[in-house]
């Protein structure tokens, strides 16, 4: 399960949340969030035109694309570079595909010149050659240390300290310096690499089982088991391609494990302890099991009532509404825009998070969908002010500014990035071309 902020608590008083009988009109889901979603024109949307797909294992990528021209490994993250695309894997599974086609991301027509003519770069920061630098910012280092600590406790089967740690994270609504919720990183640390041997997977489940026996009232242990079962199901399926292309025995095993995860979630929901992860993993189940839209939106609504600031619910709900999964063209964009306008919502911050999360399915999210750059730009400016330590957010902002063809915003972001360039976002060539474009006179 891809785990690819703080907000006001709860929903604004008097806000009415209702699903209009799960009806779709002109491809738009009608949801009453105190506003009305109007029918929208159907935007064109397509997955990246390369054989690999999100959910593929490392071995599957090699079979489909051959050996990469270069490869970077950093902890659980791998970057595979091909002439036509850059693939990001986490725990041995593809989580993001960025087409390259010479230079990516590609801004609109008013964007940078052709690759061959874009040799000039920006003024170099002191000691910065403008190349990819494989280092992390302070926030990412803190997250990595945190996850390593959680995994160490789990391997030692120190379940009492895990419980204490998780309880504190939930009580404090703890986040890192980029708005990442620590409870997300807690569960992410326990995930098994997709390429791990079967016995390793079984050993992890046995550890989780001993945790549940030691802490029978623990919502955290139950959620960890649900996450495990969802991941184990996708491992059996072998990726996220069309079901028609999956061998029947693999598809049947996938469904059995997803059914187990759904049953485990129902058990977890009955516990007195609560966690926003209950709704998050539920939405991930909704994607994999193609839950009806009414059931899924109601789950989202319940989750937002419990923890309004848990922005992963927004990004995952929009993933469900993507045309690649259970939605129609224009639906996730309308949903995100409406949620951003709801009184008491995360506003432009939440919208920016959604747009960046959804961009991986498109060559250019602003050209191929109804996503709006002005709203995303406002959101990133709020995020960067709120989390000034995070250079990761600045890199994300620069990426989207280039997609939007906003030269001034891109230049400011590149200035702020200075000597830090996130290799999970940029290739050396796209960095050179797009920085050169950003610093050219209009």
pLDDT of 69 reads 77
pLDDT of 241 reads 66
| Same domain (yes/no): 71, 171 | no
The domain total for the chain is 2
Residue 212 CB partners (closer than 8 Å, separation 6+): 218, 221, 222, 225
Within a domain: 83 = yes
pTM of the model: 0.77
Domain endpoint, select from 236, 252, 275? 275
Report whether pLDDT(218) > 70. Answer: yes
The mean per-residue pLDDT over the stretch 341-368 comes to 94
| Residue pLDDT, tens place only, 296-333 | 999 999 999 999 999 999 999 999 999 988 899 999 99
| Same domain (yes/no): 150, 237 | yes
| Same domain (yes/no): 96, 149 | no
The answer to whether 360 and 45 have CB atoms below 8 angstroms apart is no
Residue of 394, 385, 310, 389 lying closest to 350 (CA atoms): 310
| Same domain (yes/no): 73, 202 | no
| Same domain (yes/no): 142, 262 | yes
Among residues of the chain, what percentage have pLDDT more than 70?
79
Within a domain: 247 = yes
- The string over 287-317, giving b where at least 16 C-beta atoms fall within 10 Å of a residue's C-beta and e elsewhere, is bbbebebeebbbbbbebbebbbbbbbbbbbb
Average pLDDT, the chain: 81
| Residue pLDDT, tens place only, 144-186 | 899 999 999 999 999 999 999 999 999 999 999 999 999 999 9
| Same domain (yes/no): 98, 155 | no
Range of the domain at 198: 138-179+182-275
| Same domain (yes/no): 151, 83 | no
Higher pLDDT, 437 or 13: 437
**Angstrom distance (rounded) from CA 337 to CA 354:** 10
Within a domain: 304 = no
Sheet holding 85-90, edge to edge: 70-74, 77-81, 85-90, 93-99
Q: Which range has the worst mean pLDDT, 183-192, 373-382, 421-430? A: 421-430
Report whether pLDDT(368) > 70. Answer: yes
Give the alpha-carbon dihedral of 167, 170, 173, 177, to 10 degrees.
70
| Same domain (yes/no): 253, 170 | yes
Cβ neighbours around 134 below 10 Å, total: 12
Within a domain: 234 = yes
Within a domain: 372 = no
Three-state helix/strand/coil letters over the chain:
CCCCCCCCCCCCCCCCEEEEEEEEECCEEEEEECCCCCCCCCCCCCCCCCCCCCCCEHHHHHHHHCCCCEEEEECCEEEEECCCEEEEEECCEEEEEEECCCCCCCCCCCCCCCHHHCCCCCCCCCCCCCCCCCCCCHHHHHHHHHHHHHHHHHHCCCHHHHHHHHHHHHHHCCECCCCCEHHHHHHHCCCCCCCCCHHHHHHHHHHHHHHHHHCCCCHHHHHHHHHHHHHHHHHHHCCCCCHHHCCHHHHHHHHHHHHHHHHHHHHHHCCCCCCCHHHHHHHHHHHHHCCCHHHHHHHHHHHHHHCCCCCHHHHHHHHHCCCCCCCCCCHHHHHHHHHHHCCCCCHHHHHHHHHHHHHHHCCCHHHHCCCCHHHHHHHHHHHHHHCCCCHHHHHHHHHHHHHHCCHHHHHHHHHHHCCCCCCCCCCHHHHHHHHHHHCCCC
**Angstrom distance (rounded) from CA 286 to CA 142:** 32
pLDDT of 44 reads 32
pLDDT of 406 reads 96
| Same domain (yes/no): 268, 149 | yes
Domain endpoint, select from 226, 248, 275? 275
**Angstrom distance (rounded) from CA 73 to CA 134:** 10
| Same domain (yes/no): 94, 201 | no
Report whether pLDDT(49) > 70. Answer: no
- Report how far apart the first and last C-alpha atoms of the chain are (Å, whole number): 43
Report whether pLDDT(113) > 90. Answer: no
| Residue pLDDT, tens place only, 261-285 | 999 999 999 999 999 999 999 999 9
| Same domain (yes/no): 175, 258 | yes
Cα three-residue angle 57-61-65, rounded to 5 degrees:
175
Tell me phi and psi for residue 93, to 5 degrees: -130, 135
Report whether pLDDT(32) > 50. Answer: no
Residue of 195, 176, 200, 181 lying closest to 90 (CA atoms): 195
Within a domain: 391 = no
Within a domain: 120 = no
pLDDT of 75 reads 59
211: domain CATH number is 1.25.40
Domain endpoint, select from 226, 242, 275? 275
Q: Which range has the worst mean pLDDT, 65-79, 91-105, 252-266, 337-351? A: 91-105
pLDDT of 129 reads 33
Cβ neighbours around 95 below 10 Å, total: 17
Report whether pLDDT(31) > 80. Answer: no
Within a domain: 75 = yes
Where residue 74 falls among pLDDT bands split at 50, 70, 90? low
pLDDT of 108 reads 44
| Same domain (yes/no): 147, 93 | no
Where residue 73 falls among pLDDT bands split at 50, 70, 90? low
């Amino acid at each position: 399960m891809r785990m690819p902020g703080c907000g006001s608590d709860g929903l604004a008083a008097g806000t009415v949340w209702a699903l209009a009988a799960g009806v779709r009109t002109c491809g738009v889901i009608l949801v009453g969030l105190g506003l009305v979603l109007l029918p929208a024109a159907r935007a064109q949307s397509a997955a990246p035109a390369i054989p690999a797909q999100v959910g593929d294992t490392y071995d599957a990528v090699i079979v489909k694309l051959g050996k990469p021209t270069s490869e970077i490994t950093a902890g659980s993250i791998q970057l595979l570079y091909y002439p036509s695309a850059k693939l990001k894997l986490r725990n041995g599974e593809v989580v993001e595909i960025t087409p390259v086609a010479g230079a990516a991301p590609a801004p609109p027509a008013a964007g940078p010149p052709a690759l061959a003519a874009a040799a000039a770069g920006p003024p170099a920061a002191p000691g910065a050659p403008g190349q990819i630098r494989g280092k992390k910012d302070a926030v990412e280092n803190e997250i990595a240390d945190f996850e390593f600590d959680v995994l160490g406790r789990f391997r030692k089967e120190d379940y009492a300290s895990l419980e204490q740690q998780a309880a504190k994270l939930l009580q404090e609504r703890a986040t890192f310096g980029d708005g990442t919720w620590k409870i997300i990183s807690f569960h992410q640390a326990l995930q098994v690499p997709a390429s791990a041997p079967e016995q390793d997977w079984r050993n992890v489940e046995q550890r989780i089982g001993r945790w549940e026996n030691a802490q029978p009232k623990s919502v955290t242990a139950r959620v960890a088991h649900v996450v495990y079962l969802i991941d184990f199901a996708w491992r059996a399926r072998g990726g996220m391609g069309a079901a028609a292309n999956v061998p029947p025995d693999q598809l049947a095993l996938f469904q059995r494990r997803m059914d187990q995860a759904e049953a485990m979630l129902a058990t977890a929901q009955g516990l007195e302890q609560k966690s926003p992860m209950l709704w998050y993993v539920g939405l991930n189940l909704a994607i994999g099991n193609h839950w009806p839209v009414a059931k899924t939106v109601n789950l989202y609504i319940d989750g937002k009532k419990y923890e309004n600031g848990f922005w992963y619910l927004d990004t995952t709900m929009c993933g469900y509404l993507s045309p690649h999964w259970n939605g129609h063209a224009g639906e996730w964009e309308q949903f995100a825009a409406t949620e951003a306008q709801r009184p008491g919502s995360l506003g432009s911050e939440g919208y920016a998070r959604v747009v960046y999360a959804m961009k991986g399915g498109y060559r250019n999210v602003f050209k191929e969908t109804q996503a709006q750059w002005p709203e995303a730009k406002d959101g990133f400016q709020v995020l960067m002010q709120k989390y000034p330590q995070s250079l990761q957010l600045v890199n994300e902002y620069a990426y989207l500014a280039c997609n939007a063809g906003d030269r001034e915003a891109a230049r400011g972001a590149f200035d702020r990035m200075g000597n830090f360039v996130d290799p999970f976002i940029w290739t050396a060539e796209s960095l050179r071309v797009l920085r050169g474009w950003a610093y050219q006179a209009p």
